[in-house]
Amino acid sequence: MNKQLRKAVIAGNWKMNKTPAEAAALIDEMKPLVKDADCDVVICVPYVDLQTALEKTAGTNIKVGAENCHWAKSGAFTGEVSAEMLTSMGVNYVVIGHSERRTYFGDTDQTVKDRVRAALDAGMTVILCVGEYEQQRLQGVTFEVVGSQTKIALGGVSKEELSRIIIAYEPVWAIGTGLTATPEQANEVNSFIRKTIEDLYDKEAADAFVVQYGGSMNAKNAEELLAKPDIDGGLIGGASLKAADFAQIVKAASK
Ligand code: PEP
């Protein structure tokens, strides 16, 4: 597997943080620090911050994403936002299947698949999150869990569409906990995901496919994680809210 074939992607997931004014300040601080990045830089922000983020990042190397989208184009889905609504604003990235959505808001493998379909149909690039709970890792079913999440979400996705999907392997026990998978643990699952892509599509698709790691990646541990052959970037929660820390991770991915 050749890491050179892939451009790393560092994506921030701001979760439910930052008002528009705070978002503007954070982006202003971040812009000069990441401007020379030799990787793709994305910030996925709350819906209310999207317009500010688009305006503040215009003409820069920072791309803007949302943190979810609905599977329908429109309709009686109070509180939801469609992929078309996002692209109409100029938002082209979206996180789908984050474990917080799966755990607290009832997202299932099937609704994740439907959201992925809607996002692809709207022309978006998807950051698809997969990952096991601690108990599942302890019981030795990590590969089964991650394999089935991956296969179900990619059901009906063509090889051509696959270039607009990134998978973020995010062990749930490592998200927001300060516990990080070891580089070996993360690389093992990322490599398994790449093999799953090869089985579903082919080696060419697998070699080109970006698999991120997410789960307490920070300015200190990023370099070691990103040095692994199957870790092609990161989905960053807490550390993406601090411009200097996020920039440090971007720098590590640019090596
Ligand atoms: C995330 O929200 O996707 C995440 C990885 O969070 P954190 O970096 O805070 O663990």
With pLDDT > 70 as the criterion, what percentage of the chain qualifies?
Answer: 100
Find all residues with CB under 8 Å of 184, minimum gap 6, and list them.
Answer: 228
* Residue 212 three-state SS: strand
CB 73 within 8 A of CB 118: yes
Which position among 67, 84, 98, 132 bears the catalytic label? 98
To the query of whether residue 70 is one of the catalytic residues in this protein, the response is: no
Per residue in 209-221, pLDDT (tens digit) is: 999 999 999 999 9
Averaged confidence pLDDT in the chain:
97
Compute the distance from residue 202 Cα to the ligand 1 centre, in Å: 30
Cα angle at 97 between 120 and 56, to 5 degrees?
A: 70
Which residues contact ligand 1 via a Cβ below 6 A? 13, 15, 170, 175-176, 214-217, 235-239
Per residue in 119-150, pLDDT (tens digit) is: 999 999 999 999 999 999 999 999 999 999 99
Compute the distance from residue 75 Cα to the ligand 1 centre, in Å: 31
Per residue in 22-71, pLDDT (tens digit) is: 999 999 999 999 999 999 999 999 999 999 999 999 999 999 999 999 99
Compute the distance from residue 96 Cα to the ligand 1 centre, in Å: 14
- pLDDT of residue 1 exceeding 60, the answer is no
To the query of whether residue 98 is one of the catalytic residues in this protein, the response is: yes
Domains of the chain: 9-253 (3.20.20.70)
Measure CA of the first residue to CA of the last residue in the chain; give whole Å.
18
E strand or H helix at 127, and its extent?
A: strand 125-130
Buried b (16+ CB within 10 A) or exposed e, 164-174: bbbbbbbbbbb
pTM of the model: 0.97
- Residue 15 and residue 26: Cα distance in Å, rounded? 14
- Residue 68, pLDDT score: 98
Q: Which of the four pLDDT bands, split at 50, 70 and 90, describes residue 4?
A: confident
Compute the distance from residue 172 Cα to the ligand 1 centre, in Å: 9
Region of 131 please: left (phi>0), alpha (psi -120 to 50) or beta.
Answer: left
Of 166, 174, 255, 184, give the one whose Cα is nearest residue 217. 174
Residue nearest to atom 1 of ligand 1 (CA): 237
Per residue in 170-222, pLDDT (tens digit) is: 999 999 888 889 999 999 999 999 999 999 999 999 999 999 999 999 999 99
